[in-house]
A and B are shown apart, each in its own frame.
Chain A
């Protein structure tokens, strides 16, 4: 999957988790809190993303994920462990 593909898929995935949002309003710069996710919502989002993208969000690095772009970068750096 190239970066543009991954970016589109992550944005579509996040759009599916937010009530009443226009997908064009989500960019790589969008922060989770700006999209209405509190800290627990973000944990749930990353959990759901694990199955969708076949990656495992664990370790200290995950605590620094703040934005849509951070997720895309993380997935790019961590090849799928269990493609779904």
Chain B
């Protein structure tokens, strides 16, 4: 059974619609700025891929605003777009409509602000728990759109979005749903969360005065990832149902694979990454020589980008330099659980338009990163098969394969 993408929605630091995002991405626009939403002066990393001008009051009542964390609001914004893009899901039995969403941190904005209040002996918002819980966004998407089937949330750190899309594929293949709203959402440009990543020396700290140059996957002199936020949502359906209702079809979701390193809680592992990509291709019934694009996980950490490069070389062998690779995070930073959902949208748009977006800030590559990362300028290339990678803390590796029809 074939599964297809019939709708997309996105909110990101470089665009609040698929067209706006894609136009910025192919033009290499950076969305990294000095942090505006809190006083970051005591952090080493004072920059982020922050979404400005987001007004959830435009689509949520005052009561709904009180009951939702920012990550839920971002998820709802993207889901509303995606459902509309798909032409609505009213033709389906509500019990056959599922949600599969990824988020690494869940409602951490609420967690942090409520924790501060509690430590000051102040009362906390009565909806703290339903705002914080990781499945809050999925539940709100279901409530707003009347989706009464499975409602799942996957929290596998930075691979959450890819795992959620993979879980959606499984729901459709096993007959547990007819259509799935799938993707990821994250909103953790926050003081405690950033201090936590900083304590692991994971964040960039050397580009505070030049934010647009800070996220530089595969480049010489990169010094960590840049925190980001956003949401990406796909509408996934069985191909025959999508065709029957006359939906436009962007691409096919052909395969999904995941693998755990089972070695270290945060360090990346080449073997696990190879295993995930291989499993996704096996699942799609494809071989490595069919892949012509990779949307890399590529966070801009000194170690991670080298390990991913080695994993790609190991799996694709002599063909590795021929594959176009790009790093969406070079422009929007790392939106954790949303990142692979946004990377999937970039992959789908590459398949759909024949344009590969660039990896920006790649003037001089790290000698250990010696593949074709589409440096600085978009290229025109008709591709048939794209892989989106996502590797997360916990040793989680997930890959999804998209193809043209």
Complex Cα spacing A16 to B57, Å: 13
Q: Is A44 an interface residue (CB 8 A)?
A: yes
Most buried by A among B61, B66, B125: B66
Complex Cα spacing A50 to B126, Å: 12
Complex Cα spacing A58 to B121, Å: 12
- Chain A residue at minimum C-beta to C-beta distance from B61: A19
Inter-subunit contact B62/A47 (CB<8 Å):
no
| Shortest distance between the CB of A28 and any CB in chain B (Å) | 22
Size band of the B side of the interface? 10 to 19
Main secondary structure of the interface of B (DSSP, over half): loop
Complex Cα spacing A48 to B127, Å: 12
Using known A-B contacts A16-B62, A17-B62, determine if residue A40 contacts B123 with beta carbons closer than 8 Å: no
Inter-subunit contact A57/B123 (CB<8 Å):
yes
Inter-subunit contact B123/A56 (CB<8 Å):
yes
Inter-subunit contact B62/A19 (CB<8 Å):
yes
Inter-subunit contact A44/B66 (CB<8 Å):
yes
Inter-subunit contact B61/A40 (CB<8 Å):
no
Inter-subunit contact B63/A41 (CB<8 Å):
yes
Complex Cα spacing A57 to B124, Å: 11
Q: Is A43 an interface residue (CB 8 A)?
A: yes
Which residues on the B side are within 8 Å of A41 (C-beta)? 63
Partner of B123, one of A16, A17, A50: A50
- Chain B residue at minimum C-beta to C-beta distance from A18: B62
Size band of the A side of the interface? 10 to 19
| Shortest distance between the CB of B338 and any CB in chain A (Å) | 28
Inter-subunit contact B127/A44 (CB<8 Å):
yes
Inter-subunit contact B62/A40 (CB<8 Å):
no
Complex Cα spacing A47 to B61, Å: 18
Inter-subunit contact A44/B123 (CB<8 Å):
no
| Shortest distance between the CB of B377 and any CB in chain A (Å) | 49
- Chain B residue at minimum C-beta to C-beta distance from A20: B61
Which residues on the A side are within 8 Å of B127 (C-beta)? 40, 44
Complex Cα spacing A20 to B127, Å: 23
| Shortest distance between the CB of A24 and any CB in chain B (Å) | 19
Which residues on the B side are within 8 Å of A40 (C-beta)? 126-127
| Shortest distance between the CB of B129 and any CB in chain A (Å) | 12
Which residues on the A side are within 8 Å of B67 (C-beta)? 44
| Shortest distance between the CB of A9 and any CB in chain B (Å) | 18
| Shortest distance between the CB of A45 and any CB in chain B (Å) | 9
Which residues on the A side are within 8 Å of B63 (C-beta)? 17, 19, 41, 44
| Shortest distance between the CB of A38 and any CB in chain B (Å) | 10
Complex Cα spacing A50 to B124, Å: 10
Question: Which B residues between 117 and 150 are near A, CB-CB below 8 angstroms?
Answer: 122-127
Question: Which A residues between 44 and 69 are near B, CB-CB below 8 angstroms?
Answer: 44, 47-48, 50, 56-58
Question: Which A residues between 1 and 56 are near B, CB-CB below 8 angstroms?
Answer: 16-17, 19, 40-41, 43-44, 47-48, 50, 56
| Shortest distance between the CB of A76 and any CB in chain B (Å) | 20
Complex Cα spacing A17 to B123, Å: 19
Complex Cα spacing A48 to B123, Å: 10
- Chain A residue at minimum C-beta to C-beta distance from B126: A43
Complex Cα spacing A57 to B67, Å: 20
Question: Which B residues between 202 and 254 are near A, CB-CB below 8 angstroms?
Answer: none
Question: Which B residues between 327 and 359 are near A, CB-CB below 8 angstroms?
Answer: none
Complex Cα spacing A50 to B61, Å: 21
- Chain A residue at minimum C-beta to C-beta distance from B67: A44
- Chain B residue at minimum C-beta to C-beta distance from A58: B123
| Shortest distance between the CB of A59 and any CB in chain B (Å) | 12
Inter-subunit contact B126/A44 (CB<8 Å):
yes
Inter-subunit contact B125/A44 (CB<8 Å):
yes
- Chain A residue at minimum C-beta to C-beta distance from B125: A47
Which residues on the B side are within 8 Å of A56 (C-beta)? 122-123
Most buried by B among A16, A19, A47, A50: A47
| Shortest distance between the CB of B388 and any CB in chain A (Å) | 40
27 contacts between A and B (CB under 8 A): A16-B62, A17-B62, A17-B63, A19-B61, A19-B62, A19-B63, A40-B126, A40-B127, A41-B63, A43-B126, A44-B63, A44-B67, A44-B125, A44-B126, A44-B127, A47-B123, A47-B124, A47-B125, A47-B126, A48-B66, A50-B122, A50-B123, A56-B122, A56-B123, A57-B123, A58-B123, A82-B122
Give 10 A-B pairs besides A17-B62, A44-B67 with Cβ atoms closer than 8 angstroms: A40-B126, A41-B63, A44-B126, A44-B127, A47-B123, A47-B125, A48-B66, A50-B123, A56-B123, A57-B123
Give the 3 A-B residue pairs with the shortest CB-CB distance, closest first: A43-B126, A44-B66, A44-B126
